[in-house]
Amino acid sequence: MSAGAVAQETGAALARSDADGLNATLYWSQEWLDAQAGVIDRRASAGETLPLAAIPVALKDNIVTTDAPTTCASRILEGFVASYESTASARLRSAGALIACKSNLDEFAMGSSTEHSAFGRVRHPLDPERVPGGSSGGSAALVAAGVVPAALGSETGGSVRQPASFCGVVGVKPTYGRVSRYGLVAFGSSLDCVSVFGRTVSDASRVLEVISGPDPLDATSLDMDPVRPAAGRRDLAGVRIGLPREYFPPDLDAGIRAGLDRTIAAVRALGAEIVDVSLPHTRYAVPTYYIIAPAEASANLARFDGVRYGQRRVGPEGDIRSLYRATRGAGFGPEVRRRVLVGTYVLSAGYYDAYYRKAQRVRGLIAADFAAVFGTGVDLLLTPTTPTTAFRAGEKTADPVSMYLADIFVSAVNLAGLPALSLPVGRSEGLPVGAQLIAPSRRDELMLEVAAVIERTVPAAEDVR
Amino acid sequence: MSDWETVIGLEVHMQLRTRSKMFCACSTAFGDPPNTNVCPVCLGLPGALPVPNAAAIRLGAQAALALGCTLHHESVFARKNYFYPDLPKGYQISQFDRPLATDGTVHFDSAERGRVAVTIQRLHLEEDAGKSLHDRVPGRTAVDLNRAGVPLAEIVSGPDLRTPAEARAWLTVLRQILLYTGASDCSMEEGSLRVDANLSIRRTGDAALGTKTEIKNMNSFANVERALEAERTRQIGLVESGKQVRQVTLLFDAASGAVRPTRSKEESHDYRYFPDPDLPPLRLTTEWEQQQRTALPELPEARRRRFADVLGLAPYHAGVVSSDRPLADYFEAVVAAGADPRAAANWVAGDVMTGYNADGAFAVEPARLAALIGLERDGVVSLQAARRVFAELAAADADPRAVAERLGLVQVRNADALSAWVDEVIAAHPAETARYRGGETKLIGFFVGRVMKLSGGKADPKGVQPVLKERLG
Amino acid sequence: MTIGRDQVLHAARLAEIAVDEHELDALVTQMARIVAYVEQLDEVADDAGVAPYAGGPAEVRLRDDVVRPAALAHPVSDMAPEFRQGFFLVPLRGTMEDEA
C-alpha cells in the first residue's frame, strides 16, 4: 500500500474517532498526512530502505515536532510550535513512519486518567463513561480503537503501562536512558522515558528499535545499541519468573486477580519456573514518587514564564512579577499547579532534607529491592499492572491522592529506572486486564521476547471469569 | 577606625575562554546581533537538554590547580532556581555542595600586613545568564540571550582580606595567575571578569564575624576598592550610632562613589538547589588531573622568583617582566638569543612594553633585539642610538647593525679619530686646559661635551674620557 | 508537619503562580492532604547511608568545544509573545532589581 493510501485511511480513521467523541487527538490534518506521505513515497521509489514505511504512529503531545503544535495539553502552550524536532520523532520519520497526529494527555503528563487535559478528557474506546488511563491516554485510546497500530507516549510514573492496561493494548517502557529524551517536554527528568504503545508486542518492539539508541544531545542517554529482541523463542523453559507478594494483596480486584491467575498458569505451562519473591519497600513507591517527580517538575516548568514563547498574561500591576504570576496562574491547570507547588515546597529551605533527600534515599532502597531479587537468579517479575480496570470519569478527581493510588503497581519501576511492559491478558466485565512484566536494568530484549511468547498463548480479549 | 576590623571576601566570576557555550554548541562570540547565537538549549525551549563542554571543564580545572585547589574527581551540577527574564530555564545550572574544586590559596603582599595567604574556598562551573537592557525600548526591558549559557567559573575567597586596598591588590594577583593559565581573558571592561564583594565589621579582637553585606556592580578593581571604602564607612557609621547592619545587597554607583541598596525588598533568595537530573556526575581521573597539571605554565610567582634568583634581575624588573605571560615569554626568548638578562629586562620593561601595551604585539623579533642589545653592550651604538634603531626595527624588520649604519649612528671608538677630536678641542680651549691642569679636574665633563659636539654625537663617550685624560695630563 | 496557608502562599510566591483568594482554601486542603500522604516516608527507618539512586550513565558524557549554530526551524520572533528590534520584551517595572 502506498503511503498516500495510508494517509487517506489514517485521516478517515482519525476523523471517525473525532466524530465519535473519543477526543484523543489534539492536532492532525489531512494535508499534513498527505505531505508526509508524499515524502515517504518518493523515498521508497528512490530505493531507500524504510523499516517503518508508512506505518502511522501517533505522538503524545509532549513530544516536539517542527511541523505541528506541541501543547502538552496545557493552555500555557496553546499554539506553540517548536523550532526543533525531537530525537524520537526524527528517528521515526527517518525510518519512514507517518506521524498520524499529536495525541491528548494529562496536562504536562501529570495524571493517571487524562482528565487533567486542558482540552477535555479522552473517552475509553470501550466505554465512553470511563477513562483510558493516563497520562498517555490519547495515544492508548488511538491504538485500542484501531486508528493507529502504534503510538509514542511517555512514562514518568507508569503513564504508558497503566493506560495500556486500561485500554487493552501493549505498553512498553524501556530502561531509563535507552531512548533519548531530547524533545520530550520534561516533567520528572530522572524518571521520564519516551515509551511505546502497540497492538502487539511485535508492533511495539519495531517502533522501540527505531527510536532507541544513544543520543549525543541527551547526557542521560545510555551508550547501548537500539532495543532489538531476538525472534524464535518458542517457550519459557529455563526462565525464572518472580511474583512479588506486595503486588498481590489479598484484596486485589477479583477481575485483575483472575486475569493474573490465568497468565501465571499459562506461563507455568510454557515451562517457566515460578517463585515467590518480596520487594519490601513497595508501599513507599507512590509517596516517594510524589516527592521526587513534583520537585523536578517545579524546576522543569519554571521555563513556562510567558517571556520567550507560549501564552502570556499580565496582571493589573503591570510589572514583571505580575506577568509571571498571571501567565502561570491562568496557564497551568489545577493538577499542574498542585504539583508545582508541592515540588516547590519540598525543595524549599528547611524542608529539603526531610522530603527530597529522604525520598532519594528511599528510592535507593526501592531500586535495591529489585536488584536483590534479580540477583537471586530471577529473570523477570510478573505482576498486575493496575489495581482495578478502567474507572469512571470523575471518580477520582475530587481527591488527588486517590488518583495517585492508581499507580501503586507501576511507580516503583520508574523510580528504579527498569524496563517494564503491560500486556493485555483478558477482560473483566468487558474491561481490559493487563499483566506487567518487569525486567532487570538493560534487559529490555529478554522482557520483549518473553512477552511475545505469553502473547501467543494468552488471549488478549477473552473474558477471564 | 582602629577600633574596628574590616573583614572582606570576594566572589569572582570569570568567563572561560571557549568557542562554544557551556551546555550547547552555540558560539560565545561577543558583539553579534541580539538573539542570533541561540538554540533550543540556551533558549530554554521545552524538551531541550544540556550537554557539558569539555574545554570549559579543562580550563576550569586548570584554573583551580593554578590557584592551589584540590580538584574533586567527582562533582555534581545543580539547579539554582529563581525567576528573571534573562534566565531562560527559570534556573541556572551551577554547582552547589559538590563543586569542581575547593581549598586553594593565593598569596599576595599587603601594604599593612606583609605576605598574606587568602583561601580559595571553592571554584565551581556554571552557565551565565543573558543580558537585560532597560533603556533600549521605552517602558520595556529588552532581553538578549546571546550570553545565556556562556561558561563561567565562580571563584570564592575566604573572608581573609582586611582593607579595601588589600582587596584590590589581591584581585590583581589573582587576575595575573588566571591570565597565565589562559583560562579566561579576565577583562572587567569586556565583562569576562566580574567581582562581587562581601564586607562586615567587628570590634578589633572579636572572633565572631559581623553581619555581612554584598556589594555588586563594580566594573574595575579601582571601583572595588572605592565601593569597599564607602561600605566600610557606612557600616561603621551605622554601628557607632547604635544601629545594626542588616544583611542587604548593595549596588555601587561609580558616579557618586556611594553604595545603595537594591530596589527589591530583600527577601533573601531561596534557590532550592538540587542535583540536576539531566546531568550525571562529572568524573575526572588521576591521570587526567596530572595531564592538566603538566599543561599549566610556570605561574607568575615562580617565574618572578626564577627571574630574580636565577637570571639575576632586580626585584622591580623581575616583577614587571613577569607580570604578563606573553611579555615574560618574549623576555626569555631575547635571553635565549644571547642577550644579557639584566639588559634585556631593561628593554622589555621599557620600549618593548610600551609597544606591547599599545598594540598587543611584539614588533621586534627577540633575536633582533638580542643582537641590538649586543651592539649596545659592545659600544657600537650608544643607548640613545639603540633606542632609535629599535624604533626603526619596530616599523620594519632589518638587521640592527645595518640600520645603525644607515642612520649614521655607529659610534666611533677608533683611537686615531678620537685623538684627532680631542686634540682639536684642547687646542681650541687653552684657558680651560690650563685650569684643568691647574687642578680643576671636574672640567673633564666640559671637554667630553665639546668632543661630543665636535664629533656630531658620534664619538663613543666611554672612549673619549680616557683619551682626554691622557692628553690633558 | 502541617502545611497551611502561609506555606502555600510562600510556595506560590517562589513558584510565581497567582492564587486567587477564593481558590486558596481548597488548594491548602488538597496540598495538606498530599503532604500528609507523602510524609509516610518518615516510617522508613533503614535508609541511613543509602546512596541516592540515579539512572542513566554513571558519569556525564562531554561535548567537544566546537561551534555548531542551531538551525532553528522557525525564527525566535515567531514564537515570542513580544519581540522588537531583535529583543524579547517584558515590562520594565520590577526588572531592575540587580542593576544600577
Q: Reduce the DSSP state of residue C30 to 3 states and report it.
A: helix
Give the minimum alpha-carbon distance from B270 to chain A in angstroms, rounded to a whole number.
Answer: 6
Q: Tell me: the pLDDT tens digits for A284-333?
A: 999 999 999 999 999 999 999 999 999 999 999 999 999 999 999 999 99
Is C55 in Cβ contact with A417 (below 8 Å)?
A: yes
Which residues of chain B have a CB within 8 Å of the CB of A63? 47
Residue to test with chain B: of A308, A328, A355, A415, most B Cβ within 10 A: A308
Read off the pLDDT band of B261 (50, 70, 90).
Answer: confident
Handedness of CA C32, C35, C40, C44 (dihedral sign): negative
Can you tell me the mean pLDDT for B229-254?
Answer: 94
Q: CA B257, CA A318: separation in Å to the nearest integer?
A: 33
Nearest by CB: A302 against B52, B91, B280: B91
Give the minimum alpha-carbon distance from B101 to chain A in angstroms, rounded to a whole number.
Answer: 22
Cα dist from A236 to A265, A276, A373, whole Å: 12, 17, 19
CA A403, A408, A413, A416: dihedral to nearest 10 degrees?
Answer: 90
Which residues of chain C have a CB within 8 Å of the CB of B279? 60
| Closest to B80 in 3D by CA, of B185, B152, B139, B171 | B152
Phi, psi of A76 (to 5 degrees): -70, -20
Residue to test with chain A: of C38, C68, C82, C90, most A Cβ within 10 A: C38
Q: Tell me: the pLDDT tens digits for B360-412?
A: 899 999 999 999 999 999 888 888 899 999 999 999 999 999 999 998 888 87
Location of C-alpha cell 537585560: B132
Q: Are A422 and A434 in contact (CB under 8 A)?
A: yes
A159 is catalytic: yes
User: Which residues make beta-bridge pairs with A173?
Assistant: A420
Domain boundaries, chain C: 5-43
Which residues of chain A have a CB within 8 Å of the CB of C42? 358
Can you tell me the mean pLDDT for A163-190?
Answer: 98
Higher per-residue confidence, A32 vs B261: A32
Which residues of chain B have a CB within 8 Å of the CB of A70? 46
The answer to whether A332 faces chain C, any CB pair under 8 Å, is: yes
Phi, psi of A66 (to 5 degrees): -90, -15
Q: Tell me: the pLDDT tens digits for A104-154?
A: 999 999 999 999 999 999 999 999 999 999 999 999 999 999 999 999 999
Is A84 in Cβ contact with C73 (below 8 Å)?
A: yes
| Residue-level pLDDT at B398 | 93
DSSP B159: S
Which residues of chain B have a CB within 8 Å of the CB of A181? 47, 49
Nearest by CB: B45 against A84, A296, A347: A84
Q: Are B12 and B194 in contact (CB under 8 A)?
A: yes
Q: Tell me: the pLDDT tens digits for B51-95?
A: 999 999 999 999 999 999 999 999 999 999 999 999 999 999 999
- CB < 8 Å from C in window 196-235 of A: 216, 219-223
Q: Are A197 and A164 in contact (CB under 8 A)?
A: yes
CA closest to A326 among chain C residues: C18
Location of C-alpha cell 483472575: A258
Q: Which domains does chain A have, with CATH numbers?
A: 3-211 (3.90.1300.10)
Phi, psi of B449 (to 5 degrees): -60, -45
Is A325 in Cβ contact with C17 (below 8 Å)?
A: yes
Read off the pLDDT band of B415 (50, 70, 90).
Answer: confident
**Interacting residues of B300 by C-beta distance below 8 A, sequence separation 6+:** B173, B176, B177, B180, B322, B323, B325
Nearest by CB: A190 against C51, C54, C79: C54
Can you tell me the mean pLDDT for B145-153?
Answer: 98
Give the minimum alpha-carbon distance from B245 to chain A in angstroms, rounded to a whole number.
Answer: 24
Q: CA A375, CA B351: separation in Å to the nearest integer?
A: 75
Nearest by CB: A185 against B39, B46, B89: B46
CATH (one of 1.10.20, 2.30.30, 3.90.1690, 1.10.10) for B415-472: 1.10.10
Q: What DSSP string describes A291-328? A: HHHHHHHHHHGGG-SSSSSS-----TT-SHHHHHHHHH
C-alpha cell at B349: 620593561
What does pLDDT average to over chain B? 94
| Residue-level pLDDT at B416 | 81
Is C99 in Cβ contact with B251 (below 8 Å)?
A: yes
DSSP A95: T
Give the minimum alpha-carbon distance from C30 to chain B in angstroms, rounded to a whole number.
Answer: 23
Catalytic residue among A17, A103, A112, A135: A135
Q: Model-level pTM?
A: 0.93
Is C90 in Cβ contact with B25 (below 8 Å)?
A: no
Q: Tell me: the pLDDT tens digits for A241-265?
A: 999 999 999 999 999 999 999 999 9
Q: What percent of chain A has pLDDT over 90?
A: 99
Q: What percent of chain B has pLDDT over 70?
A: 98
A322 is catalytic: no
Nearest by CB: B143 against A185, A186, A307: A307
Is residue A90 pLDDT above 70, yes or no? yes
CA closest to C79 among chain B residues: B45
Q: What percent of chain A has pLDDT over 70?
A: 100
Residue to test with chain C: of A300, A344, A442, most C Cβ within 10 A: A344
How many CB atoms neighbour CB A383 within 10 A? 24
| Closest to A460 in 3D by CA, of A232, A236, A262 | A262
| Closest to B257 in 3D by CA, of B240, B238, B233, B239 | B233
Q: What percent of chain B has pLDDT over 90?
A: 81
Read off the pLDDT band of B267 (50, 70, 90).
Answer: low
Is residue B266 pLDDT above 60, yes or no? no
Q: Tell me: the pLDDT tens digits for A327-385?
A: 999 999 999 999 999 999 999 988 999 999 999 999 999 999 999 999 999 999 999 99
Is residue B268 pLDDT above 70, yes or no? no
Which residues of chain C have a CB within 8 Å of the CB of B43? 76
Residue to test with chain B: of C7, C65, C68, C77, most B Cβ within 10 A: C65
| Residue-level pLDDT at B262 | 82
A102 is catalytic: no
C-alpha cell at A140: 492508548
C-alpha cell at A156: 514518568
Q: B203-234 burial string, b = 16+ CB within 10 Å, else e?
A: eeeeeeebebbbbbbbbebebbbbbbbbbbeb
Q: What DSSP string describes B314-331? A: -HHHHHHHTSSHHHHHHH
Nearest by CB: C11 against A311, A345, A366: A345
DSSP A301: G
Can you tell me the mean pLDDT for A171-199?
Answer: 98
- Its ipTM equals 0.97
Q: CA B80, CA B89: separation in Å to the nearest integer?
A: 10
Q: Tell me: the pLDDT tens digits for C5-38?
A: 999 999 999 999 999 999 999 999 999 999 999 9
Is residue C98 pLDDT above 80, yes or no? no
Q: CA A226, CA A166: separation in Å to the nearest integer?
A: 28
Is A220 in Cβ contact with B277 (below 8 Å)?
A: yes
The answer to whether A416 faces chain C, any CB pair under 8 Å, is: yes
| Residue-level pLDDT at B471 | 86
| Residue-level pLDDT at C100 | 34
The answer to whether A359 faces chain B, any CB pair under 8 Å, is: no
User: ∠ CA(A304), CA(A308), CA(A312), 5° rounding?
Assistant: 65
Nearest by CB: B25 against C58, C68, C91: C68
**Interacting residues of B185 by C-beta distance below 8 A, sequence separation 6+:** B15, B17, B179, B192, B193
| Residue-level pLDDT at C99 | 45
With left for phi above 0 and alpha for psi between -120 and 50, is residue C56 left, alpha or beta? Answer: left
Is residue B160 pLDDT above 60, yes or no? yes
Is A344 in Cβ contact with C11 (below 8 Å)?
A: yes
Catalytic residue among A112, A113, A136, A159: A159
What does pLDDT average to over chain A? 97
| Closest to A228 in 3D by CA, of A454, A450, A448, A451 | A448
| Residue-level pLDDT at A365 | 97
Can you tell me the mean pLDDT for C45-64?
Answer: 89
